[in-house]
């Protein structure tokens, strides 16, 4: 339903076929999209709407059948409105000019640019998590947030025993806050270029990130930083 509403609202190429003397009161509207597909909307005299998504060739066949039906009624005294004059070759050429965007390469370039932006943003989010240990403190960076704790705020460095973050560094602050770096867990060992054996058979032994944090914290406690 969302796709239908978007096509109706944003389509810059549309073609309406209708006839006042049609006893059915049927009106057909064609909405052309940049990918070459066409949304066909049939509106009856009772106000009922029927939607059908087609490729351009099928839409042209539907238009041809509508025009040929109008030609039959004209001989019976109908007042069909002619869109263009000439044979079917001229009609199809004119309809193609109406339905196909004039500058599809610009629209396709815009779509490609949007895809690149989305893909670049997704890659940036995936690469954003980090765990840093410095002489000033520690920084835990997630996908959308960053937590920094200076050494005076840190009470102890523990190891997470949960299933999902098993073996990860847990920074316990003096005010009771607990900051976990999921990136330092055992399930991210290969991603960090390490071996899962460093976490021990129970995956609870301190790996390189935890050892670096514990060693630097001890040095700060002894005033060696």
Q: Which domains does the chain have, with CATH numbers?
A: 2-112 (no CATH), 128-221 (2.30.29)
What local confidence, expressed as pLDDT, does residue 135 receive?
A: 93
How far apart are alpha carbons 140 and 157 in whole angstroms? 13
What local confidence, expressed as pLDDT, does residue 77 receive?
A: 34
What local confidence, expressed as pLDDT, does residue 68 receive?
A: 66
What local confidence, expressed as pLDDT, does residue 109 receive?
A: 82
Nearest to 210 by CA among 166, 157, 165, 164: 157
How far apart are alpha carbons 97 and 84 in whole angstroms? 12
Nearest to 54 by CA among 69, 36, 29, 34: 36
Average pLDDT by stretches of 10, the chain with 225 residues? 68 66 69 75 79 78 69 38 44 55 67 92 92 95 93 95 93 95 92 88 92 94 88
The dihedrals phi and psi of 94, each to the nearest 5 degrees, come to -65, -40
Q: Do residues 55 and 36 lie in contact, with contact meaning Cβ atoms separated by under 8 Å? A: yes
Location of structure tokens 């869109």: 83
What local confidence, expressed as pLDDT, does residue 11 receive?
A: 66
How far, CA to CA in Å, does 14 sit from each of 32, 41, 91, 98, 163? Answer: 6, 11, 16, 8, 56
Q: Do residues 193 and 185 lie in contact, with contact meaning Cβ atoms separated by under 8 Å? A: no
């Amino acid at each position: 339903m969302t796709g239908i509403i978007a096509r109706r609202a944003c389509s810059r190429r549309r073609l309406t076929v209708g006839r006042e003397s049609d006893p059915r009161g049927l009106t057909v509207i064609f909405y052309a999209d940049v990918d070459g597909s066409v949304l066909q909307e049939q509106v009856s005299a009772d106000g009922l709407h029927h939607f059908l998504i087609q490729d351009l060739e099928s839409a042209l066949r539907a238009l041809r059948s509508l025009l040929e039906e109008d030609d039959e009624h004209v001989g019976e005294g109908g007042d069909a409105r002619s869109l263009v004059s000439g044979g079917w070759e001229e009609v199809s050429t004119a309809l193609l000019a109406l339905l196909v965007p004039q500058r599809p390469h610009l629209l396709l370039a815009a779509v490609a640019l949007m895809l690149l932006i989305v893909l670049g943003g997704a890659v940036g989010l995936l690469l954003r998590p980090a765990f840093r240990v410095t002489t000033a403190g520690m920084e835990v960076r997630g996908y959308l947030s960053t937590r920094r704790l200076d050494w005076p705020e840190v009470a102890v460095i523990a190891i997470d025993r949960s299933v999902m973050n098993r073996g990860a560094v847990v920074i316990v602050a003096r005010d009771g806050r607990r900051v976990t770096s999921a990136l330092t867990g055992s399930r991210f060992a290969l991603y960090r270029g390490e071996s899962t054996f460093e976490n021990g058979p129970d995956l609870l032994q301190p790996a390189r990130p935890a050892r670096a944090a514990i060693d630097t914290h001890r040095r700060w406690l002894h005033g060696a930083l």
